[in-house]
Structure formats: structure tokens, C-alpha cells
């Protein structure tokens, strides 16, 4: 698993992919920072992540769409299938590498906290709660994006499928309040209020585990067919 993790981290940091993801996020995050803080005169760091969650919805595929679809398209998937490493270790290695990229991105957002610290007294406790919730949301998004990438060799299809499902889940509560439990972004909304709910943590982790397992199943079935 560590070998796959190391390879994936290098692929993010030695190619434009990782920098495009971080750059896109920070550009859009900075825009909302200006609109929220300077125009609205609000000194709450956590408010920025309501918009940050929206940004994540649309740019997560930058990290995930190539995970397996690129290897399948280039014909290198066979090397993965026949390597001595298990499918589980490959999937977990790729997942953890993407999770580290999220942590790096979150680390960059701390500069906005210190800017606000200069002008006021933003709550560190609420900021940490927000960052924790954002990371959990990211893990859930990465797991589904990885699953979508395992289904097709076309990165565009994986990207569209990922964003499409995220948007549908986003608007589910608007159709029926009982469907709110399936809206990841709505569950995240509690964290910027400083509330860390065990039920939300369990839901995020369960969602991530589910789609990691489904990705493993898809690849195992493909391996057995070949």
C-alpha cells in the first residue's frame, strides 16, 4: 500500500494535477474570502467553508477522475491486476494519496485564519471543527470519485458522473426532508457551527468505506474476468 501511496503522491506533485486542484480551490476560495470578509464585513473563518464545500463538489474529480480510468485507457491496468500487490492495497494507496492532497489544501486555508486573526478574534475551536468536517466531506467525495473512475476508461465520463451524483445528493432535501440524511453537504453544514455530531461522523466514514469497498469489488471482478 505504501508503494502505491508514494507513487500516487509523486504523480500529484510531479505533474500539474495536484497543483491544478490546489490552485483552483484557492483561487475560488480567495474570491469568496474577499466577498464574505471584505464586502460583508464578517470575520468568521468557518463561514468560508460553506462556499468551500461547494467548491469541493465541483473540483474533486480533478483528483479522482484519472485514478483508474487513465490506467485502463493506457493499458497499464493489467500491470495493476497482475502485480503482487493486492487490489485492496492499490485502492487504499490511491485513496490515502488523494486524502493527503486535501490535507495540504486545508493547510493553505489556514492563512485566511491568520489574516482574520489580525483583524479580530476568530474562534480556533470552531475553525478546527470546520476543518475536521471539511476533511470528512472530502474523504466521502474522494471515495465516490474513485469508484466512478473504476467504472470507465473515460475520464470525462468519470468527472461528469461524480459531479452529477454530488449535485443530486445536494438537492435531495429540497425534494423531501426525509432525504436530508443522504445529503453530504447538508450534514457538513453542522461543523461550521462548532457542532461535532457522532451521527455525521459515522455517516461520512460509512459512506467512504462503502465506496472504497465497492471500488475493490469492481476491480476484483474485472481481475477475475481477465
What per-residue string of b and e applies to 134-155 under the rule 16 or more CB within 10 Å gives b? bbbbbbbbbbbbbbbbbbbbbb
| Cell of residue 77, nine digits | 491496468
Model confidence at 15: pLDDT above 80:
yes
Q: What is the pLDDT of residue 123?
A: 87
Tens digit of each residue's pLDDT (9 = 90 or more) over 46-61? 888 999 999 999 999 9
Cell of 97: 494519496
**118 DSSP assignment:** H
In sign, the C-alpha dihedral spanning 152, 153, 159, 160 is negative
Cα 146 from Cα 125, distance rounded (Å): 32
Main-chain phi, psi angles of 85, to 5 degrees: -75, 145
Mean per-residue pLDDT, 187-209:
91
pLDDT in tens, 81-118: 666 678 899 999 999 999 999 999 999 999 999 988 88
Q: Is the pLDDT of residue 69 over 90?
A: no
- Cα separation, 198 vs 90, in Å, equals 29
pLDDT of res. 77: 62
Domain total for the chain? 1
Which residue range(s) make up the domain with 113?
2-225
Would the CA dihedral through 210, 146, 90, 218 be positive or negative? positive
Whole-angstrom Cα distance, residue 46 to residue 128? 9
Q: Is 183 a residue whose pLDDT tops 80? A: yes
Angle at 53 between CA 212 and CA 151, to 5 degrees: 30
Is 226's pLDDT higher than 60? no
Handedness of CA 65, 71, 75, 77 (dihedral sign): negative
Judge whether 45 and 113 are in contact, CB under 8 Å: yes
pLDDT band (50, 70, 90) for residue 126 = very high
* pLDDT tens profile 137-176: 999 999 999 999 999 888 999 999 999 999 998 888 777 7
Amino acid at each position: 500500500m505504501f508503494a502505491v501511496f508514494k507513487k500516487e503522491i509523486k504523480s500529484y506533485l510531479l505533474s500539474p494535477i495536484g497543483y491544478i486542484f490546489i490552485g483552483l480551490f484557492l483561487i475560488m476560495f480567495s474570491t469568496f474570502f474577499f466577498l464574505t470578509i471584505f464586502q460583508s464585513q464578517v470575520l468568521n473563518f468557518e463561514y468560508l467553508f460553506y462556499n468551500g464545500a461547494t467548491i469541493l463538489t465541483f473540483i474533486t474529480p480533478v483528483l479522482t477522475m484519472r485514478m483508474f480510468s487513465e490506467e485502463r485507457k493506457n493499458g497499464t491496468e493489467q500491470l495493476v491486476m497482475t502485480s503482487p500487490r493486492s487490489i485492496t492495497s492499490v485502492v487504499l494507496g490511491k485513496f490515502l494519496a488523494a486524502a493527503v492532497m486535501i490535507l495540504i489544501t486545508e493547510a493553505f486555508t489556514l492563512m485566511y485564519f491568520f489574516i482574520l486573526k489580525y483583524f479580530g478574534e476568530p474562534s480556533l475551536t470552531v475553525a478546527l471543527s470546520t476543518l475536521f468536517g471539511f476533511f470528512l466531506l472530502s474523504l466521502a467525495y474522494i471515495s465516490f470519485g474513485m469508484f466512478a473512475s473504476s467504472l470507465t476508461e473515460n475520464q470525462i465520463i468519470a468527472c461528469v458522473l461524480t459531479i452529477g451524483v454530488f449535485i443530486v445528493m445536494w438537492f435531495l432535501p429540497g425534494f423531501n426532508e426525509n432525504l436530508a440524511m443522504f445529503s453530504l453537504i447538508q450534514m457538513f453544514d453542522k461543523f461550521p457551527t462548532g457542532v461535532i455530531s457522532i451521527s455525521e461522523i459515522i455517516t461520512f466514514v460509512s459512506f467512504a468505506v462503502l465506496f472504497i469497498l465497492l471500488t475493490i469489488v469492481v476491480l476484483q471482478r474485472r481481475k477475475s474476468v481477465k
